[in-house]
Amino acid sequence: MDMLASLGDGFAIALTWQNIGLALLGCFLGTVMGALPGLGPSNGVAILIPLAFTLGLGATPSLILLTSVYYGAMYGGRISSILLGIPGDEPAMMTVLDGYPMAKKGMAGEALSLSGIASFVGAFIATWGLILLAPQLVKIALLFGPAEYFALFALAFMTLGGVSSTNQAKSAFAAALGLGLAMIGVDTQTGVPRFTFGEVHLYDGLDFLVAIVGLFALSEVLIFLEERHGSADADGKKIVVGRLTPSWSMLKSCTPTMLRTSLLGFLAGVLPGAGASLGSFISYSMEKRLVDKENTFGTGDPRGVAAPEAGNNAAAGGALVPMLALGVPGSGTTAVLLAVLLSLNITPGPLLFTQNPDVVWGLIAALFIANFMLLAMNIPMVGIFTRVLMIPPKVLMPLVAMVSFVGIYGISGSSFDLLVMIGFGVMGWGLRKLDVPLVPIILGTLLGNAMENNLRRAVTIDNGNWFTLVDSPLSIALWAIALIGFVLPLIIGARVKSKMHARKDEEGALSD
Amino acid sequence: MSDRIFGVLGLLLAIGFAFAATQIEESFLSDAVGPKAFPLIIATILGVSSAVIAFRPDPEPVWPGLGRLVELLAAVVVMVLYAEFLPVAGFVFATAIAAAYLSWRLGNGPIASVLTGVGISVGIYVIFHLVLGLSLARGPFGF
């Protein structure tokens, strides 16, 4: 009951004209970004952060805007998967398998509306899951001391490569690089400058927003410049949408699939190091095992469209659980959302639920509202978004670059930050070529200082005894999970990855 | 080969990072751990992972040819110039030129590129400055 009362308060916060407008804007922009190949949820949100920030939006409105973008991108990814056979973002990869064949059979409209409904079911169930699970996780998290937090951060880094990672050395390298970048600036505890080389601009440390926008958005522009691909994809193909409502029998046959995969996807999202891409992958594989008796999966089976879409939207909701309850994100986009919270001076974690209940519950209420808006946008109005797919990269990519520059310049007004951002863009391009994941770098720059502070606090409390880090059952358990999470991909990673990427391997470094 | 070079560079970075960490001046009012310990741990992880990358390289990535590399370099130079000249030339001019350049290099014709550049620049100016009130760089003409 307590929970429903809080949720009611949340709706009172979310239902202002400004917040509804922001949710609407976010849903629209998110769907567009998800639909456009080359822009996914993480770089979509990354571009918009500086804007939300410079517009002087408060914490709740900015979060409403950006999580609407996040949910919207999860919906939008399916549009180009179904119509063009190119995933709009990585989580929509599995939707191509059955969605594109359906479109070729002239059932594009049905595939779109069915996947829209599946997305809705997935996101709706996941949002309830978030409400039920997050407060429980908070109760556990309240038992955490600095040593446990240090272990938790280590766990986040060690599992972030994900089960699909093939090269854990590169994940570890990325995490260490991010942590190292976070060390730049004046040490918060003793006040001595570190790694600043006398440059005054660096005393404050690197602004992680600059790093995020450079790594995610600018590197994408550079990849497009290098390959110049995609320009031919959008033109030349005639898009026929056809009938927009799926038949009742189709909906009925897909309902069990949607419910099962929503739960599975949600769990995949909550677990560290999984995220939406894995959520849609395991949902599809499970349904293929369970219901594909006549071997119709892969040839345009509606259930093969519903499964990955329900799975990835549920995983997107699930990934918010550890981010809000523990302050440790499990996926790329939630890491970017964490950056929003941190730059608004809100520390996520167990205290968030007691200190800023308005933010948490307002956000959750906004997720429900956004979900209904997205359902409305994605079924009757899907035609608008199919037209958006016609924007060629030669217009889109300069726009992305310029909006990134505007956003960063708007925050600081200094050319120095723009140069740092270009530096990160070049670095992101090189690292993506070398298959080094970018998300651990972002997470490292975000969490580096908090991680170090917890380490120092823990050791100082125990008079300089370093073994205090593995002194409680809770922290030993966390270290054990971290270790398993790090070693497991070494054994099964190659297999999972080759299955996931059997069709498309382009945005590997930008998973989620 | 790329991974071997990358690993060696990473190793050098780790050594440099560790060296810079030892140069941090300790304050007389320090906690039990001090400002050096955590950076040294990071340097160790950085070094070990770089060594592993160098010894067990992945398959060679597809690097672009020389022409494409020059293309990328040129784009980076344009962006750096954009960053430097933004406060001098003003937002609308600088952005129109940079966006037109990028659009041209992504395969637009000359006239279409100029139109795209001007469109993007004026569009952003109208939406972000006039409508949303974001402060953009002012040039000699005030925009």
Helix (H) or strand (E) holding A145: none
pLDDT value of position A59: 83
Check B72 against A393: CB less than 8 A apart.
no
pLDDT value of position A123: 92
Best B2, B15, B92, B106 residue to mutate vs chain A (most A CBs within 10 Å): B106
Q: Is the pLDDT at A482 greater than 80, yes or no?
A: yes
Check A464 against B137: CB less than 8 A apart.
no
A22-31, A159-168, A390-399, B26-35: range with lowest mean pLDDT: A159-168
Where residue B143 falls among pLDDT bands split at 50, 70, 90? low
Check B38 against A51: CB less than 8 A apart.
no
362-421 in chain A: CB under 8 A from chain B? 393-395, 397-399, 401-403, 405-406, 409-410, 413, 415, 418-419
Check B82 against A405: CB less than 8 A apart.
yes
Residues of A in contact with B21 (CB under 8 A): 194-195
Min distance B141 CA to chain A CA atoms (Å): 18
pLDDT value of position A425: 93
pLDDT value of position A235: 46
Best A226, A431, A455, A465 residue to mutate vs chain B (most B CBs within 10 Å): A226
pLDDT value of position A230: 44
pLDDT value of position A120: 92
Q: Which residues lie below 8 Å from residue B126, measured CB to CB, with a gap of 6+?
A: none
SS3 sequence of A65-99:
HHHHHHHHHHHHHHHHHHHHCCCCCHHHHHHHHHH
Q: What is the mean pLDDT of residues A225-239?
A: 57
Question: Predicted ipTM?
Answer: 0.91
Percentage above 70 pLDDT, chain B: 96
- Report chain A's C-alpha Rg in angstroms: 22
Q: For chain A, how are helix, strand and coil distributed in percent, rounded to 5? A: 75, 0, 25
A48 in Cβ contact with B127 (< 8 Å): no
Q: Is the pLDDT at A504 greater than 50, yes or no?
A: no
Check B30 against A409: CB less than 8 A apart.
no
Could you tell me how far CA A103 lies from the centroid of its own chain? 27
Q: What is the mean pLDDT of residues A63-73?
A: 88
Check B136 against A190: CB less than 8 A apart.
no
Of B31, B86, B134, the CB nearest to A460: B31
Residues of A in contact with B25 (CB under 8 A): 192
Q: Is the pLDDT at A233 greater than 50, yes or no?
A: no
Q: Is the pLDDT at A328 greater than 90, yes or no?
A: no
Where residue B129 falls among pLDDT bands split at 50, 70, 90? confident
pLDDT in tens, B64-91: 888 888 889 999 999 999 998 888 888 8
pLDDT value of position A234: 45
Half-sphere exposure of A447 (CA within 13 A, CB side): 33
pLDDT value of position A15: 86
Q: What is the mean pLDDT of residues A95-113?
A: 85
pLDDT value of position A506: 42
Question: CA torsion A19→A22→A28→A30, rounded to 10°?
Answer: -100
More confident residue, A75 or A295: A75
Could you tell me how far CA B135 lies from the centroid of its own chain? 23
23-52 in chain A: CB under 8 A from chain B? 51
pLDDT value of position B119: 92
Q: Is the pLDDT at A11 greater than 50, yes or no?
A: yes
DSSP state of A214: I
Task: Identify the three-state secondary structure at position A109.
Answer: helix
Q: Is the pLDDT at A229 greater than 60, yes or no?
A: no
Where residue A238 falls among pLDDT bands split at 50, 70, 90? low
Q: What is the mean pLDDT of residues A69-85?
A: 85
CB atoms within 10 A of CB A495: 12
Check B99 against A435: CB less than 8 A apart.
no
Q: What is the mean pLDDT of residues A467-477?
A: 87
Nearest alpha-carbon partner for A244 in A102, A110, A336, A398: A110
Q: What is the mean pLDDT of residues A38-53?
A: 79
Query: How far is CA A495 from each of CA A268, A484, A498, rounded to the nearest angstrom?
Result: 18, 17, 5
The letter for the amino acid at A319 is A
Average per-residue pLDDT in chain B?
87
Q: Is the pLDDT at B40 greater than 90, yes or no?
A: yes
Check A190 against B75: CB less than 8 A apart.
no
- Shortest CA distance from A172: residue in chain B: B49
Q: Is the pLDDT at A331 greater than 90, yes or no?
A: no
pLDDT in tens, B84-94: 888 888 888 89
Q: Which residues lie below 8 Å from residue A91, measured CB to CB, with a gap of 6+?
A: A41, A74, A77, A275, A276, A277, A279, A280, A308, A312, A315, A316, A512
Q: Is the pLDDT at B60 greater than 90, yes or no?
A: no
pLDDT value of position A161: 66
Q: Is the pLDDT at A177 greater than 90, yes or no?
A: yes
How many angstroms separate the CA atoms of B52 and A271, rounded? Answer: 27
Residues of B in contact with A226 (CB under 8 A): 64, 68, 71-72
Q: Map tokens 């950085």 to a residue.
A: B46
Of B29, B58, B128, the CB nearest to A167: B58
A174-178, A284-288, A498-502, B35-39: range with lowest mean pLDDT: A498-502
How many angstroms separate the CA atoms of A70 and A91, rounded? Answer: 12
Helix (H) or strand (E) holding B83: helix B66-89
Q: Is the pLDDT at B37 greater than 70, yes or no?
A: yes
Residues of A in contact with B115 (CB under 8 A): none
Where residue A179 falls among pLDDT bands split at 50, 70, 90? very high
A32 in Cβ contact with A375 (< 8 Å): no
Q: Is the pLDDT at A302 greater than 90, yes or no?
A: no
Question: CA torsion A319→A322→A324→A327, rounded to 10°?
Answer: -130
Where residue B127 falls among pLDDT bands split at 50, 70, 90? confident
Q: Is the pLDDT at A334 greater than 80, yes or no?
A: yes
SS3 sequence of A432-491:
HHCCCCCHHHHHHHHHHHHHHHHHHHHHHHCCCCHHHHHCCHHHHHHHHHHHHHHHHHHH
The pTM (predicted TM-score) of the whole model is 0.84
Of B34, B53, B63, the CB nearest to A170: B53
Best B60, B63, B76 residue to mutate vs chain A (most A CBs within 10 Å): B76
Average per-residue pLDDT in chain A?
83
